[in-house]
Chains A and B, each alone.
With several copies, the nearest count.
Chain A
Amino acid sequence: MPLMNMVEAINSALRLEMERDPSMLIIGEDVGRAGGVFRVTDGLQAQFGNRRVVDTPLAESAIVGAAVGLAARGLRPVAEVQFLGFIYETMDQMASQAARMRFRTAGRIHLPMVVRSPYGGGVRTPELHSDSLEGLFVHTPGIKVVMPSSPYDAKGLLLSAIRDPDPVLYLEPMRLYRAFKEEVPDGEYTVELGKAKVVAEGDDLTLITWGAAAPVATAAAAEWRDKQGGSVEVIDLRTVAPMDEEAIVRSVAKTGRVLIVHEAVKSGGVGAEVAALVSEKCMLSLLAPILRVTGYDTPYPAFAVEEDWLPNKQRIFKAMQELLSYR
């Protein structure tokens, strides 16, 4: 099996599905000629032509609105929003339109569309290029939100997302685009939406994470095990809406201690929903407070200090310590 980084894996998924499904098209700013600002769509316009890979004018609301119209007419648009910070521009089209069309029309119109967007910090970008905004959409019924953390998952989840009959927001952690390679099948395969992955099994503590934060959290857990010997179960949600509640509840029933690690700001983030879920469903198992290691409650800061803002090993260790020593 070839080794791919995440950019290659996503590109492969897009290419395979474009080959398979003539109703799929890719639209967005700079996705064609330039192959995307991160080269994620590199080579696709050359292969499929500018009818199917379309560079649009600079207007995010129209990009998502166009996808609504295209999808309603039976096509499968995969739209790109260049950075997730710009998704605010599309909130009406995402939340009032895309998310509600099936509900509004009681099933008469549904929208098989994907909006892809790079997000997350740690790559020294200017303002509004590093924000994690999945929380807005977890509060938006009708949208699914997928956040892969590895090349293998990225490809399989994207193929599922494109084939899904409903709108999917597919978020790509920039920092992981080229961070590492892993074995990824050349051909097509899918990873089911809404299913978490147990990255590491353990008995003492459940660490719940996703997307950009997952490798950081997983590495911290591994190092902790090596150094301290405790056993931490790591769950990578992969899809934050819908959330794999069963996986969470099953693990917490076993460990009784919960640490949530995400990159978005803390207040009102998806971590809050995970904590709320656990505190509703796992009361009898809980042995310690539910802790969150997240971005702080400030806007994403200037990149000179971003590493201090992001969840890191040190902060995760402190929280694990606190949880495991809690009696």
Chain B
Amino acid sequence: MWINPEDLTVTQWQVLNEAGELVREAPSLGHRQLLEVYRYMVIARAYDERAMRLQRQGRIGTYAPFSGQEAAQIGSAYALERSDWMFPSYREAPALWVHGAPLEYSLLYTMGHVFGARLPEGVHAFPVQIIIAGQATHVMGSAWASTYLEDKRVSLCYLGDGATSQGDFHESLNFASVLKLPAIYFIQNNQWAISLPRSHQTGSATFAQKGLAYGIPGVQVDGNDVLAVYQVTMEAVRRAREGKGPSLIEAVTYRNGPHTTSDDPNRYRSQAEVESWKQKDPIVRLRRYLTGLQIWDDEREQALWQEAAQVIEQVVAKAEGVPKGTLAESFDYVYATPTPRLQEQWATLERGR
């Protein structure tokens, strides 16, 4: 008579194994696209490493590295059209970049710039979300707008494993299911929420099965397998565009680095664990696949990393060239028209009190 959670079995979806071999049919991505995806992944990794250095040099503020999660982010973002809407958390520089936001925007944010969360016109994305799962309700509202406007756009949000514990996650999935909205909830289960391991974050065996609570299809995918991630996201996108409602994707991956530059992961996890995940590195895996396809070799690899270094150099230069903005300017963005009190405060600010 009881529904026993232990009776449920969930199998993880994989396309490429750790050796970079196909375990089932690959999604229909041409070579040009595969190489594009790989380029995104490598440059993202280079950006992440550079950002960590910039932080140590005091040139940016607290930084949340994403190394290890490139396949999850880039594979999913690659499945979207530029006209679709994206709702990131604070760790999604690569996804935002694939979706059209130049990388320097992510850098500006970590510099604490007044304009650090203003994405360029035409990029259909919300800015960095600091409140865990705050974006989960926004993606639902945006998907609702698409239903209302009948514009066939899809809205996708990124959430961490920790974010699934928040009330907003629950409320949003429930709404999206009842209203059959074109929303995709993409969970990067990177095993940790700061110091809390996944096993203490929830009592359910997977995050994918949480969809059952809402009547939403869920899937657990190998998040370090960019082909698998792309494939399941494409299916979720198709379902959304066809008006069939929301989907929940759990991408099983790993955060290689600290939670942020303020964090010391040695306090809560073992080096052995970190090493074991290095075997599953998403970039290595795709490289092996490309090599197997004979469209990649060491020479191209070297050239790409060189290109990456140059690209990042430019990104840093651009970001550091942007005037940081002034407090007085920000007074213009509290309301469309500053209130009399703001105007008065602006004047005292200029006068030094």
- A interface residues, Cβ below 8 angstroms from B: 25, 29-30, 32-35, 37, 51, 54-59, 61-62, 64-75, 77, 85-86, 89, 92-93, 96-97, 102-110, 124-129, 141-142, 144, 164-166, 194, 242-243, 245-246, 266-267, 293, 296-299, 301-306, 308-309, 314-315, 318-319, 322
Given contacts A66-B140, A72-B142, A308-B349, contact A302 B267 (CB under 8 A): no
Once the chains bind, are B131 and A62 in contact (CB under 8 Å)? no
Closest to A58 in B: B162
Once the chains bind, are B114 and A302 in contact (CB under 8 Å)? yes
Once the chains bind, are A55 and B196 in contact (CB under 8 Å)? yes
Once the chains bind, are B330 and A298 in contact (CB under 8 Å)? yes
Closest to A298 in B: B334
Given contacts A30-B196, A34-B195, A296-B349, contact A72 B112 (CB under 8 A): no
- B interface residues, Cβ below 8 angstroms from A: 61-62, 85, 90, 111-119, 121, 126-128, 130-132, 134, 136-146, 148-149, 155, 162-163, 165-168, 171-172, 174-175, 178-179, 193-196, 200-202, 262-264, 267-268, 324-327, 330-336, 339-342, 345, 349, 352-353
Given contacts A297-B341, A304-B111, A315-B352, contact A105 B127 (CB under 8 A): yes
Give the CA-CA distance A65 to B174 in the complex, in Å. 13
Min CB–CB distance A139 → chain B (angstroms): 13
Min CB–CB distance A115 → chain B (angstroms): 13
Once the chains bind, are A59 and B145 in contact (CB under 8 Å)? no
18 A-B contacts (beta carbon < 8 Å): A33-B267, A33-B268, A34-B264, A57-B196, A59-B171, A65-B137, A67-B141, A72-B138, A75-B149, A102-B333, A105-B119, A106-B325, A142-B335, A293-B353, A299-B334, A302-B112, A304-B324, A318-B353
Min CB–CB distance A118 → chain B (angstroms): 12
Once the chains bind, are B335 and A102 in contact (CB under 8 Å)? yes
Min CB–CB distance B7 → chain A (angstroms): 24
Hey, which chain A residues are within 8 Å of B201, CB to CB?
Answer: 57-58
Hey, which chain B residues are within 8 Å of A297, CB to CB?
Answer: 334, 339, 341-342, 345
Choose from A110, A243, A319 the contact partner of B336 (Cβ within 8 Å): A110
Hey, which chain A residues are within 8 Å of B195, CB to CB?
Answer: 30, 32-34, 55
Hey, which chain B residues are within 8 Å of A68, CB to CB?
Answer: 137-138, 141
Once the chains bind, are A86 and B114 in contact (CB under 8 Å)? no
Given contacts A59-B175, A293-B353, A296-B345, contact A302 B131 (CB under 8 A): no
Beyond the given A107-B118, A108-B127, please list 17 additional residue pairs across the A-B interface where CB-CB is below 8 A. Answer: A29-B194, A34-B194, A57-B196, A58-B201, A61-B168, A65-B141, A69-B140, A69-B143, A73-B85, A103-B333, A107-B333, A127-B130, A165-B336, A194-B339, A242-B339, A302-B112, A304-B324
Once the chains bind, are A57 and B178 in contact (CB under 8 Å)? yes
Given contacts A33-B267, A66-B175, A108-B119, contact A302 B113 (CB under 8 A): yes
Hey, which chain A residues are within 8 Å of B142, CB to CB?
Answer: 69-70, 72-73
Give the CA-CA distance A104 to B39 in the complex, in Å. 31
Once the chains bind, are A73 and B334 in contact (CB under 8 Å)? no
Once the chains bind, are B134 and A92 in contact (CB under 8 Å)? yes
Given contacts A72-B141, A126-B90, A304-B111, contact A267 B341 (CB under 8 A): yes
